[in-house]
Structure 1
Amino acid sequence: MKLFNWFRRTEKVYPEFWKSYLSCFDFKSNASAEKRIVAFDTETTGLDFRTDVILSIGAIGISGNSIVVNDCLNLFLIQDVFKKETVPIHGILKTGQEEKIPESEAVIKFLDFIKDSVLVGHHVSFDVKMINEVLKRMGLGKIKNKSIDTDLMYQKFKRLPEEHHSNLDELCKIFKIEKIDRHTAIGDAYITALIYLQLKKKWRR
């Protein structure tokens, strides 16, 4: 009997926040509901999702054709990894005035904010990978949200070749969008939301 128990697979116990997040994807209850849109961005220590870490997460809700300014999230993470050479880009100091929280707490807050929303980002796959790496360190799976990349939206709208990519600064110039709080997570999330709405409007014409 003891030998049988030793071979029997033990069921993994997941934390409540993760079970709550996964429950948002109950398609039987949510099949007819219109998905909420959330534009988001991460500021990081670099561009290697395997070795770099998140410094801040910014997210903002979109309802219909409008940005919901008070539906937002702006988090700063404790910097266990610090690269002073990247500070001129994002402006986040290790000992800055912002309240900083552990990366696990930040991702828990992020998941609670997004729930089953469709995520919009510029080069969104990188930001998703950064979130997934934190979840991996927490012993959990990947996020399940669908995502939309504003770079790919613009690429398809202009019928550009797949290898052609545009950065946020270029699209701000094209769509005459003021670059408010550029290179902050919440600022870039807001800019991305504006670009998404512009492209969405053009697709309808």
Structure 2
Amino acid sequence: MTNSGQGRTRFVVIDLETTGLVPAQGHRVIEIGAVAVQDGSVFEEFHSLVGVKKRIAPSAQQIHGITNEMLEGKPKPENVFLQFKAFMADDILVAHNAQFDIGFLRHEFGRLGLALLNRYLCTLEMSRRRFPRLRDHKLQTVYRHLFREPVDTIQRHRALDDARMVARVWMKLMKK
């Protein structure tokens, strides 16, 4: 794990946007957002759109608003994922619905002949254990429950903004 020299663990909170839901069906990551957290503070961020050739499913585009045109001229997947691998090093990853994000990352890394060996934590699972009576455990619902503030001011379903929200949720869950 990346340390600051004082034995402090760094966590990398991630969120991905994709062309669809199933990597085995050829869906791809089109946006990565990540925030590095150490000692309860966000101190570094990573963000990139990914210039893939795969068409974005209309249902996915409706959720995140990313269009095929927005990906034109963006960095190639191999460049983005190599940079991201360096950013996350061997830090512990954190995601909301981590199975989804980790599954896509493993798939993308595998395409490049790389392995994703990082341990990870899931704020969705943490929320389900901590708040079993919540009506649902979507990121926005958990965020509102923990912070009692509107989510409307945050651009939802874009990778970096969602990663920032997950980071706040995770830090709050770790304090409770």
1:68-87 paired onto structure 2 within 5 Å: 68=43, 71-85=44-58, 86-87=60-61
Distance 1:65 1:165, change over 3 A: same
- Cα distance per residue 1:20-50 (max 9 Å; x no partner): xxxx79xxx9xx8332011110000111121
Unmatched tracts of structure 1, length 5 or more: 1-23
Distance 1:84 1:48, change over 3 A: closer
> Could you tell me how far 1:98 is from its partner in structure 2?
8.0
1:37 aligns with 2:8: no
Q: Aligned partners of 2:165, 2:100: CA distance in 1, in Å?
A: 17
Distance 1:194 1:106, change over 3 A: same
Q: Aligned partners of 2:81, 2:38: CA distance in 1, in Å?
A: 23
- State the Cα RMSD in Å: 2.5
Q: Mark the structure with the bigger radius of gyration.
A: 1
Distance 1:136 1:57, change over 3 A: same
1:4 aligned residue:
none
Q: Does the 8 Å CA contact 1:56/1:74 hold for their aligned counterparts?
A: yes
> Could you tell me how far 1:181 is from its partner in structure 2?
1.8
2:141 aligned residue:
170
Q: Aligned partners of 1:74, 1:98: CA distance in 2, in Å?
A: 16
Q: Aligned partners of 1:90, 1:156: CA distance in 2, in Å?
A: 28
1:61 aligned residue:
36
1:185 aligns with 2:156: no
> Could you tell me how far 1:152 is from its partner in structure 2?
1.0
1:1-205 paired onto structure 2 within 5 Å: 33-51=7-25, 52-68=27-43, 71-85=44-58, 86-96=60-70, 100-140=74-114, 142-158=115-131, 160=132, 166-175=137-146, 176-179=148-151, 180-202=154-176
Unmatched tracts of structure 2, length 5 or more: none
1:105 aligned partner, one-letter code: N
> How many percent of aligned residue pairs carry the same amino acid?
26
Q: Aligned partners of 2:78, 2:69: CA distance in 1, in Å?
A: 20
Scaled by the length of structure 1, what TM-score is found?
0.74
- Cα distance per residue 1:50-91 (max 9 Å; x no partner): 1210010000111212222xx100111113111251222111
Q: Aligned partners of 2:31, 2:71: CA distance in 1, in Å?
A: 13
Scaled by the length of structure 2, what TM-score is found?
0.86
